[in-house]
Structure 1
């Protein structure tokens, strides 16, 4: 039995993903304190909604609540956990040490960092295990989280960098897309046309990056003819220090993630 506690956007995305990858409604329990939303989930997915104390007896427990609500939830779950229950947290900044402190020694915990493309089944999730999580626990966590995209196992010391690269990463691409659209509009192009051009260009470039197996440098150079339009554009980006700005931005996101994790 799998239980999901918290059915906000990420929790519901995980629920839909699990039900779409071979799990039946009878395999998943959901804890959702808002009764109106709980009723919607029952009607939409056919799952059973239960209190957190009952959900705690599941074989695998996915915690998808807000970080500020996590400690209270952990303390509530502690006396009700089933023997050997695997606890997976997708709350940003909650370390395995925090999970273990409130759930007790010997509880296998996995910390996960998904990103928002999980909402459309295209997420990137990094996972790391606590002291009691063995390879089988990590494999189980990977299996469950692949319902919403790809999964990578990392050392916990890299989780703040994961947050900066893939957790915050979609926002960087949306920022670029926004800038490209506005540039097209400023040059007189209809907004709808600019949006379609940018959307498909980014989607196509992403597909090439994923499917070609080539390094990003090789793909960029293939577009950049000597003395051509792309070369002129890249020269301006380098002149304005865009590469350095992106590196600094990712480092700032990592540092902020580290500060939040440390409380």
Structure 2
């Protein structure tokens, strides 16, 4: 990656999380990255915080980039592509990060056989614990996919999936940190109700979620097996599990994942 130039069209929360992760992991130097933003406030902040070149000139960044991330909201993709398509070089790899933006949507917007990787990262990239999913089109070589994967792995874990599965990813990864934050907040609220100080409650809840996730990833055990190991007969854990089942926790989570997927499918069809 030493000689590659990486560009970001858009530099909001997700773009900044990715840039921070790449620089923090030393996969890239700051002078290899350029970005664009709409407001002077964002431009000033990002330049000072990350030391990268940042401007409001989308065409300039597009023309200079070997790998170009389109880090903008889904509803402005068409306008951005129309603006930059004549500036993007033939061998530039275009990486999308928005839900519902299909490979065909990007290819048709460019009007030529552009190299596209559809991706879905998430915001824990900011702390090096992101989960990203990639789906390349047929014009991306194995070496090019490996280069892009290296960038994503600088701030977390990465999987490659067929594009037909990508609409299901936001509900379990891209959007799902919001669900986890709600769970942490709810656990902390319950603890505060029982007398724990708020700061201690958040720490206990967040560390418990972090440790439990690590147990799943590192032991390879089924989550149900790990749950059963905590449930002492007639103990506190099984009482809590029963309460969660009674109030439909599992169904609520499943419905949230399904809702995310359906919305991603709507976006894929161009529905606002």
TM-score by length of structure 2 reads: 0.90
- Residue in 2 that maps onto 1:33: 38
Of residues 71, 74, 82 in structure 2, which corresponds to 1:75?
82
Is the contact between residue 108 and residue 130 of structure 1 (CA under 8 Å) also seen in structure 2? yes
Matched, 1:16 2:20: yes
Of residues 128, 131, 135 in structure 2, which corresponds to 1:128?
135
Q: Cα deviation per residue 1:174-205 (whole Å; 9 max; x = unaligned)?
A: 22212211212222333233222212222221
Equivalents in 1 of 2:244, 2:192: separation in Å? 20
Is the contact between residue 109 and residue 130 of structure 1 (CA under 8 Å) also seen in structure 2? yes
Equivalents in 2 of 1:18, 1:249: separation in Å? 31
Across the aligned residues of Structure 1 and Structure 2, the Cα RMSD in angstroms comes to 1.8
Matched, 1:55 2:61: yes
In the alignment of these two chains, the number of paired residues is 263
* 1:136-215 matches, cutoff 5 A: 136-215=143-222
Matched, 1:104 2:91: no
CA shift, 1:223, in A, is: 0.6
Equivalents in 2 of 1:211, 1:112: separation in Å? 25
CA shift, 1:172, in A, is: 1.8
Return closer, same or farther for 1:78/1:207 CA change in 2, 3 Å cut-off: same
CA shift, 1:147, in A, is: 2.4
SS of equivalent residue, structure 2 residue 84: helix
CA shift, 1:49, in A, is: 2.6
Return closer, same or farther for 1:202/1:4 CA change in 2, 3 Å cut-off: same
SS of equivalent residue, structure 1 residue 79: coil
Equivalents in 1 of 2:257, 2:249: separation in Å? 12
Is the contact between residue 9 and residue 119 of structure 1 (CA under 8 Å) also seen in structure 2? no
Q: Cα deviation per residue 1:154-190 (whole Å; 9 max; x = unaligned)?
A: 1111111111111121122122212211212222333
Q: Give unpaired runs (5+ residues) of structure 2.
A: none
TM-score by length of structure 1 reads: 0.92
Matched, 1:243 2:245: no
- Residue in 2 that maps onto 1:86: 93
Select between 36-45 and 205-214 the one with higher mean Cα deviation: 36-45
- Residue in 2 that maps onto 1:95: 102
Higher RCO (Cα < 8 Å, 6 or more apart): 2
Of residues 40, 49, 64 in structure 2, which corresponds to 1:44?
49
Is the contact between residue 108 and residue 137 of structure 1 (CA under 8 Å) also seen in structure 2? no
CA shift, 1:132, in A, is: 2.0
Is the contact between residue 62 and residue 89 of structure 1 (CA under 8 Å) also seen in structure 2? yes
CA shift, 1:83, in A, is: 2.3
CA shift, 1:101, in A, is: 0.6
SS of equivalent residue, structure 1 residue 211: helix
SS of equivalent residue, structure 2 residue 72: coil
